[in-house]
Structure 1
């Protein structure tokens, strides 16, 4: 993991798409189309989900509700498949601390150019959904999308999500290698 000096390192533009009651559909993301409910933030790779949630709360009144739950998804373009994918990266709950709130963008394998899709829920999660979620996720060895293929191992240089990953400290963390097309 890289170290970021927020006094010296320049922040990058983070495009966040919010929705109350659930996440935006992955089909609403394409090369030339994104959801309308965009919030733009400037931040660093070492920003935590809690910090991002606090910035969202400043702009979206529903997120300030004491019973609000803010769920984060990473939306990224898989250049090999030529389409967008998403991955849940954590939740921040106003009423009580979660283990995800201290997770950074870098720990979530965020790369500059990726999007965050944020769902804002009010009230406690339905108990039945939590129990079902445990039963349907499958094991870690099933791969990212339960395809039956094992997940990539740590020896794979590309990292997770099928993307090249180079931790070169540009813009406060790992970045894609530059390719001028």
Structure 2
């Protein structure tokens, strides 16, 4: 709670950070808002008007090294653009992880929802895009759906 894990926390598969692990069984069409609601049902510290859940996708690249990509933030107080993003849209696959930071700020306000231009897409054929629609790096998931 309070921050995301560091890149190094996922350096060794046998030493993954499990101290605050929450296992959730869900479907590819589950949205970030739906996952936030599940977390709220289980973890009281994630509830409250000033809370925000920040999501990162953790996935292995071609060499097996885990890569982190920001996929969105969900505010408890109101809806924003990333709320409706689904696991399928961010190319989540079995074996990937979601790193969720529960953040609190008394003065929390959401940014204005982004409006993608007609030609832009939050996802492209090279893998998960961060919130700006750009890839973190070539991840080896090219062409996989």
- In the alignment, what sits opposite 1:70? 53
Q: 2:32, 2:85 within 8 Å by CA — same for their partners in 1?
A: yes
* Alpha-carbon offset, residue 125 of structure 1: 5.2
TM-score, with structure 2 as normaliser? 0.74
Residue deviations 1:61-91, cap 9 Å, x none? 11111110000000011132x3111000001
TM-score, with structure 1 as normaliser:
0.60
- 8 Å Cα contact 2:57-2:70 kept in structure 1: yes
SS in 1 for 2:93: coil
Over the aligned positions, Cα root-mean-square deviation in angstroms equals 2.0
Structure 2 unaligned regions, length at least 5: 112-123, 128-137
Matched, 1:113 2:95: yes
Match of 1:40 among 23, 26, 34: 23
Is residue 5 of structure 2 the alignment partner of residue 24 of structure 1? yes
Equivalent-residue separation in structure 2 for 1:125 and 1:65 (angstroms) = 11
Give the whole-Å Cα distance in 2 for the aligned partners of 1:162 and 1:84: 9
- Is this contact kept in 1: 2:60–2:139, CA < 8 A? no
Name the counterpart of 2:121.
none
Between structure 1 and structure 2, the one with the greater Rg is: 1
Offset of residue 100 of structure 1: 0.3
Q: For 1:64-143, what aligned pairs fall within 5 Å after superposition?
A: 64-80=47-63, 82-123=64-105, 124=107
Q: Distance in 2 between matches of 1:22 and 1:125?
A: 16
Higher strand share: 1
